[in-house]
Each structure stands twice: as C-alpha cells, then as structure tokens.
Structure 1
C-alpha cells in the first residue's frame, strides 16, 4: 500500500484499523486492511461495488467485528460485542449516513433527529428543545424546514439533507457519508459540501464514499482506493490522476467510452403531446421510435419522474395526450399499460424497486406469473429456469437464484430490476435513474445492456441526473426545463457541456 499523503494534522488518528480480516460464508471481504484517518481530514473511499468499502465502514461503526485485527477510535480500542459495540462506537463520536436512508416516514423531522436519544425535562419529552436543536441543525445546512414536518412530506433530496443534518448534531468526531449526493441536484450538493467543510474546520474527520470523481476532487483531501478487500493505495487527491484511480479500482485500464452510433429509426411507438401537470410540466411533446434510447435531462425537480409516471398511467395529467402504436391511451391505468407492453424502473430502488428479503427469482418473476405457472400453481422448476436466463442475460453476479436480492450489490440489484421487465417481454421501458448508486464497472455493463435491448427493437426512455452518462447510451436527448422540452440533441453530437448549459439556463446558482 502506498504511504498516506503527508498531513499537517496530528499524528494520532481519530480512527484506525490494523490488520483487519473479515470473512462472510467463505468470502474474504477484507484482507489484512490497515486504515487511518486524521482529525479534520476528508478521506474519499473509492472502489467498485464489492471491493470491501461497506465492510470497512461497518467495522468503524461497530456493526461488525473483525475476524482478525483491531479497530481504534479516538485512541480507544473498540472492544465490545454485539449491540454494545455500535453503542461504544457512537459514544466515541462515530456517525454515519448511508445511501439507503433510515428515517421514519410518518413522524416529524425533530422526532427523527432524536430517535433513541429523547431529551427529557421533568421526566417528559422536551419537545421545545428538540425543535430548537433541529432548527439549528437544519439551518447549518441552509434548510428552512419546519421541524414538525413529517418525513413523508419531504422530497428525496430533502430527506437526504435531513439525514446528514442528524449526523452533524452533537459532537461527532468521525462522520461517514455513503453516497450522500446520489439524489441531490447541484445546489443541494453545494449544501452538503458546505456542511462537510464546516465539519472539517471543527476538526471532525469525514469519510466520503462516492462514485462521482468530480465531487471527490472538489471535497476530499485524500483518497483510499479499495479492490478485492484490500486498500490498494492511499494518496493525495490533488496529485492523483483520474485514469490511475480508475485503473486501481478495476485492476485494469478502463475501457474507452464509445459514442453511440445512431441507427436507422424505426416506426414511432410512443407519442406524447402537450402534457401539462402543474406546477412541474407546462407543455411537453415528443415521439419515441422503435429501437431508440431517448434520454431526458433536467435538474432535480424539473418534472422528469412525473412525466414518466404520467406515461405509465401512475399519474393523471391536467391536459395532453399519450398514444402508443397510434392508439390513444391517455388516462389508461398502470395495469392497462403493463398489458400493452410497458415496463418501468423506479427512481428509488430500495423503496420501490425490490423486495430485499425475497430471492432474485421472486423479484424477477413478480411481473408475470403465467410463464412460471403449471396448472394454476407456481412451478419452482420454471421459476428457476426463467431466473437463470435473466441472470445470465443481465450478467448478474450471485451465488444462486434464490439468494435474497437485498444482499447483492447495487449494480446487480439494478440489473434484476431491469431484467424483470425483459422477462415480462416489455417493449417500452421507462428507466428512471437506472445507474444511481452503482459503481463505474456496473454502469458500463448497464449501458451495454440498454444498447443491446434497443438493438433488439425495444424502445427506452432513459432519465438521469448524471448528464455525463447520457452521451454514452442515448440516441437522442431531450432537455426538460421550466416545464417544457427546450432543446434536443442527437448522437453522435451529444455534448455534456451543452446539455448542462441547456439544463441550468435561467437558474440562479
């Protein structure tokens, strides 16, 4: 392992792992890992899914105990077991914010901020103190939310920021942020960065996990790169070359991105005309052709998800029409659209895309039980055969088809979410943020899957907040802004700078 970059911080690390080994069912998740982070340091933790990042984090939070090696926090050995170990880590100042949020939807922000640590006065809950502390923590992130607002009433971005605000309360010494900006727009990302900088200035160490190299360069001081359960290198981010980092993550050179070569257009499959859905959508019209991948770019909150839900029959537009195969399907139900060959992957994989405790097989065939039914009874043999076909076709890495999908990496989960509609024979796929929270290798695999599906004649709408990925997969890209389609780009002339400019024009940043 390369030596850590020189630092002006104290020699005593706030968190240290020495010789850590961790195995799960014969799989070596961590292989003699040494890791240390100093007070006031922002350390990026990089690596593709399955590299060992999550296991390392779980050692620091006390959620896991190493099979070999030791963990120290603030100079004190983490030596408790079970739940006492996580309590010990928390008492020593460790806080974590995961990509999959842990907020309780049906109670207020203030109650969520103090879950399990209720402040009391004269033996009863001190709601006034809860609201005051919550308002202060939110204000530190630039949020002007009412502490009494329920989590269910917040947008996904606001929920993410509330979770981060909760982690900054009290006197944390180490804050771990796991993909904290995956659901945030540019202005909200800046709020997160501002919070990280404030923590750093107070001497708090921050471990920042992200697949977005642009963000890493902007916020991190140093970076540790993991591969196959080992830390390959720890380096100064200002001196690191992106290609070298990707090479360390993958163990080989990253494949060069190829521009999409436009094919001959097929017949029009989907026609959307003058859709209005106030206040998000004012007047949206476009056509989607057979075998085409159509990207939709736009800022968070621009109405991209709402547009997909209207097409899918999950929302009712105020005005406008939707036609499929030249047939007016305006107002058709979700069930009716499924019968017409539509499939949709949701923006939030955890909340709406998978049933974590069910197997890969059950998650795959839930879209259509008929092909795996014999004489009115589900056939285990047919389910297994159908799932094996999808697993192979989608390049899913899993020990067996009955493995709970929640134990897979984000990339493999997402492949199954897409694959269930391939299994169902859907010819129109609406993909909402299909690469969110997956690593660089899995993204490339998903791009290839989408291009192959298009070559087979399927029509795909691809919505993404990561503008840089649209030229890698789309035949055309529409820019949605101020409720309208303001610009159209066609491959191979899809330029990320022009896409970004068109998306944010007129926005105050």
Structure 2
C-alpha cells in the first residue's frame, strides 16, 4: 500500500462536445478527476456517460474541447495511444475473445515473447499473478467462452489491471457479478485508490456509488448538472438530479387479480445444471426466481424456453403439456425469453430498431413473402413511443442506442409477439432509474392483461418490490417458495445460501 498519495489532478476534460447525426450526445461537459479518488459518474441511459468515456479511450474524437492527462495536453488519439497513456477501460459489454484462453485474453495485444514465439510460460504466470491479486479462482488455460458471465467480467478486469494503468474507467462493472465477486471488485478498487490510481466509476446502482465513491458527477441530456462529494448527497438527490423530476416509486406494484396457472413446470431436470424443479406462474402474476450466481436460475429459464432443453420433467402452458426442444417450439407454445446477455442474444446491432422489433413476428407483417413496410413501420413506431424509446428513431441501427434503450427493444419485440408467458432474465441489468421505471411499468401492464411473468434478478430489492411469490434456487435445486407477505432480503438470502427457510 502506498502512503501519502499525491491527490493532484489526473484527468481534466474541458468543454467536451460531441454530436452524431440527429443527436447531440455531449454539450460542453467538464470533468476533473484526482489521483487516488473514485469519481462516480451517474445519469440516465443516453445522458452521455459512455460517449464521454469513449472519447477518453480514443474511440471517438470530440467535436470541441480539450483533454489533459497528468497535466499534459492530449491531442487526437486512438485506443492504443490512450492505453499507452495509462488509461484502462472496463466496459459493461465485455471485450473478450471467446475462443482464446483466459491467459491469452489477459495479455491480448501485449503477449510476452521469447524470440519470435509467444512465451506461453510467462503468459500463464502473468495471468495467474493478476487473478491471484483479484482473488479470482479461474483456470488460466480455460477457453473464455466456457466461463460464466461473472467469471468473464473478472477476466476483463484482470486484463486492464495487468497493464498497470494510472486511470481506470469501470463502466457498470458489477452488472453481471454476484455479491462475492462484487466484494472482491470493491477491495481491488480500494487498493487501486490507495496506490494513487484515478478511478472513474459508472453505475446505475446508487448504493454502490454511496459505498465506493468519493465524488460524483451527474450528467443529464449530455450536460453537466452537478459535481458533489458523495458524503454530501443522498441517493434520492442523485435520482432527482439525473432525471429532473421525483421518482416517488421506483418499483410500482399493481394490485392485480391472480388467475389460473399459465405456466406449470414439474420435476424439470438437466444434468449437472439443475434437478427436480417444480414451479408455477398464474395469470396476472409476477413470480421471482432468486439464487446466487451459479445456482441454476438462468439455466432453468433457458430450458423452459428451449435454448438448452430439459432432459426430464414436464412443462404445461394453460394446462396443456408442451414439448419444447428449441426456441421455435418455445415461441409456438406461447413463451418468450428476454435473455441476460442482450448484446449476444437479444439484439442484432447492425439492423435498425424496426427490424429488431419485428424479427419474432415476421410472418404477421408479410404477404406472399413480401414485408408490408407501412404496417411494419406503423406497428413499431407505436410500440417505440409506448416504451419511451429515446430517441424514437426506429431506422437507426440498434447498436447506436444506449443499453437501457436496447433493453426496451428486446422486451418490446417479445411483447409484440403476444406471448402467454414472459421470462425475464435480469431485465434491468445496466439500466438507469428512468428506464427501469419504464420497464417495470411495461411488465406490470403485461401482467394486468392476464400474462404470466417469471423474473430473475440479482437485485433483491427489485424482486421483493414487484413479485407476488419468489422461488429460490440453491446449487441447482429448488429450496424455497416464499409468498410476498413473508419475503424479506434475509429470508431469501437464507434460502439462497442453503439454510433452511422458515
């Protein structure tokens, strides 16, 4: 640990402006970050946070403004030059190569060599050393594509830490981490801060900002709103500054009439993932599926939808037994899945919003194999307006939208398909407070119309607020069914950690 850290200015971004066709992403933004501090940046999706950080990383060039790193003015730079300046980026959307090993990913772009050949012994040793520092128990020879999402996030962090950066940006780093991994990450960030590294921390989880941050800058609509010491602000004040209004109820829960079972799962099993899973979801009901990372929550959801079919057990939809061996059969049975990883499984980034919306229902907007363009545009535009898509431009490529708006489209395209059962795997992961409220409103409206919702979330506060019942998994087994009136964070965590629920 380094003592007497110099708390001088590490980064100065002044009057940064950036426009894209039809959108002004940043308008004169100023940001000052000191050495040895955690500077949080908060704002709604589309506020300009990621654009500002991509300018810092050299992926975008500002239209106007200046940047100084460690007191030195920086001109136009590319990502490699930014990295050479000691700027490290850890993105919410992972930048790993699935077919390479953990060790190869950690040293990607800076492979140790012995003559003309890669020094694989040094490669493995370097990876083991940095993973040990992160307290991450991951085999460095494992193919990254075989790791869980939380393990991949730790590899992403290790990749940056291994390069001894002076400024590190964490963009929603805990969005796919469990409690244990989050604690490890926070310990790493604290050690970085103590050694004088400047940390920029972007998160929609405001309690994390309160715990780990020293100062916080709020952005709204591409402009600075305020910079404050974290000790002098509350989460409620941050929300008001972010959205420009009070959000009196983040998780609105409608008092709905509960009907007959729509989805019934009995003794569902898949080798080495989960066994003997029995649950039901009724019309007008939102049922939670809770558990720690690795408990089998996502695997159960994927099996019900047909992505990774169950090997035993029975699934019924409105009392009728259905055979689901593929997503096509899942959709035919009236089941829709909003996946955990929207980038890889939920969207086609290069296609416009319009085409992303209509992928699951192409048969409804065609006649004699021709797409009815007018019907398609009118249908999608109406739904985009209902979802508060920002900006509501359905011809823009999906990849140019913020994460929260992408998630709205993933949810909206399945609602357009009019399913009986809606399975949501981390539906608000990496989503800002305003978009989160929109998504919960839409989920509530679907349940109100008689739909059945099965919802996975790592945020217990979210499950407790919106769910009528919560099923809890532990190591692939169903260990508890907790009614709304009895559900507390303590009771859910007790079951999730394998203790007896009472």
Aligned to 1:434: 427
TM-score w.r.t. the length of structure 1 is 0.93
Aligned to 1:252: 245
Aligned to 2:464: 471
Equivalent residue pairs, number: 497
TM-score w.r.t. the length of structure 2 is 0.94
**Could you tell me whether the CA contact under 8 Å between 1:479 and 1:503 is conserved in 2?**
yes
Whole-angstrom distance in 1 between the partners of 2:58 and 2:317: 53
Whole-angstrom distance in 1 between the partners of 2:154 and 2:99: 17
Aligned-residue offset at 1:331: 5.0
Q: Structure 1 19/379 Cα, relative in aligned 2: closer, same or farther at 3 Å?
A: same
Structure 2: stretches of 5+ with no match in the other structure: none
Q: Structure 1 396/493 Cα, relative in aligned 2: closer, same or farther at 3 Å?
A: farther
1:292 to 262, 285, 291: 285
Aligned-residue offset at 1:332: 4.4
1:386 to 366, 379, 383: 379
**Could you tell me whether the CA contact under 8 Å between 1:32 and 1:230 is conserved in 2?**
yes
**Could you tell me whether the CA contact under 8 Å between 2:324 and 2:330 is conserved in 1?**
no
1:42 to 38, 42, 55: 38
Aligned-residue offset at 1:481: 2.2
The 5 Å alignment of 1:49-88 reads 49-81=45-77, 83=78, 86-88=79-81
Aligned-residue offset at 1:439: 0.3
Residue range with higher mean Cα deviation, 150-159 or 122-131: 122-131
CA root-mean-square deviation: 2.0
**Could you tell me whether the CA contact under 8 Å between 1:21 and 1:29 is conserved in 2?**
yes
Aligned to 2:17: 21
SS in 1 for 2:9: coil
2:118 to 107, 125, 131: 125
1:45-73 superposed Cα distances (whole Å, 9 cap, x missing partner): 11111111112212221222222221011
Aligned to 2:161: 168
Residue range with higher mean Cα deviation, 379-388 or 174-183: 379-388
Aligned-residue offset at 1:455: 0.7
Aligned-residue offset at 1:142: 1.1
Aligned-residue offset at 1:263: 2.6
**Could you tell me whether the CA contact under 8 Å between 1:42 and 1:205 is conserved in 2?**
yes
The 5 Å alignment of 1:272-283 reads 272-283=265-276
Q: Which stretches of structure 1, 4 residues or longer, exceed 4 Å deviation after superposition?
A: none
Aligned-residue offset at 1:187: 0.5
Aligned-residue offset at 1:259: 5.9
Aligned-residue offset at 1:434: 0.9
Aligned-residue offset at 1:258: 6.2
Whole-angstrom distance in 2 between the partners of 1:484 and 1:314: 20
Whole-angstrom distance in 2 between the partners of 1:18 and 1:257: 34
2:171 to 163, 168, 178: 178
Whole-angstrom distance in 1 between the partners of 2:365 and 2:80: 47
Structure 1: stretches of 5+ with no match in the other structure: 1-7
**Could you tell me whether the CA contact under 8 Å between 2:351 and 2:397 is conserved in 1?**
yes
